[in-house]
Structure 1
Amino acid sequence: MSPLLLALGALAGGVGAALRYSADVAISRWWRPPWGVFVVNILGSFALGILTGSAAGADLQLVLGGGLLGGFTTFSAVSVTTILLAEEKRGRMAILNAAGTLLLALAAAAVGLMLGSALTAVPS
């Protein structure tokens, strides 16, 4: 891997993290946690599915998938949010957050993979 590609991936990861924080704050203005992190992880899983299913080259997948979307989505935020919900005596919401994120993120990734593959397979 070239140093330039590594630097681009790192920069994209920082941008992704800033986008995650911004999206979480914006969504949290309307709905209280865990909805910001929840939506971010579902959208990120869908986008990564599209990218992975597409004909994007390995370098682009590294920068956008590993960097940007890797910084945008985060398992640690889901984990901390789930624990905080449990500590707030919001046990049902904690369980819904953990299970819902896992199930919907997997479903979003699967749909994204199918869509990315279908878009790539369309004859030009």
Structure 2
Amino acid sequence: MTVLLIAIGAALGAPLRYLTDRAMQARHDSPFPWGTLTVNVLGSLLLGAVAAIPAGPTVTALVGTGFCGALTTWSTLSYETLRLTREGARFHALANVLASVVAGLGAASLGYALARALNG
């Protein structure tokens, strides 16, 4: 049952990642990977909230592992940073890593704090 919940969450998260990435990149005329940053920060926010609530294994599998796991993407962050470096866009590459780590940790902390505050 757990594997099915993870698959359902992933089936929702992966297309959302793709659609969000395409929408964000269409709005920015920049080599900076705005779409990947957006999905990683949003996924970190949601995962922080899931970690803060007394979520059972069902919610954790569906939302945490499945949805957030498919929505966020460390491999794409790594690839895009490497691509930027190879293209000579070293500033964008460094900004991508720093913004992703700082914003991701900040979003996870914020999601955790908000969920704790709303959950009493």
User: Is 1:81 paired with 2:101?
Assistant: no
Q: Which runs of 5+ in 1 are unaligned?
A: none
Residue 27 of structure 2 aligns to a residue whose secondary structure is: coil
Q: Which runs of 5+ in 2 are unaligned?
A: none
Residue 89 of structure 1 aligns to a residue whose secondary structure is: coil
Equivalent residue, structure 2, for 1:54: 53
Deviations 1:13-33 (A, max 9, x none): 122111101100011101144
**Equivalent in 22, 27, 40 of residue 24 of structure 2:** 27
Equivalent residue, structure 1, for 2:97: 98
Contact 1:54–1:119 (CA under 8 A) maintained in structure 2: no
1:117 Cα offset (Å): 1.1
Task: Report the TM-score, using the length of structure 1 for normalisation.
Answer: 0.90
Identity %: 34
- Give aligned pairs, total: 118
Distance in 2 (CA, whole Å) between partners of 1:61 and 1:47 is: 11
**Aligned-residue CA RMSD in angstroms?**
1.1
Task: Report the TM-score, using the length of structure 2 for normalisation.
Answer: 0.93
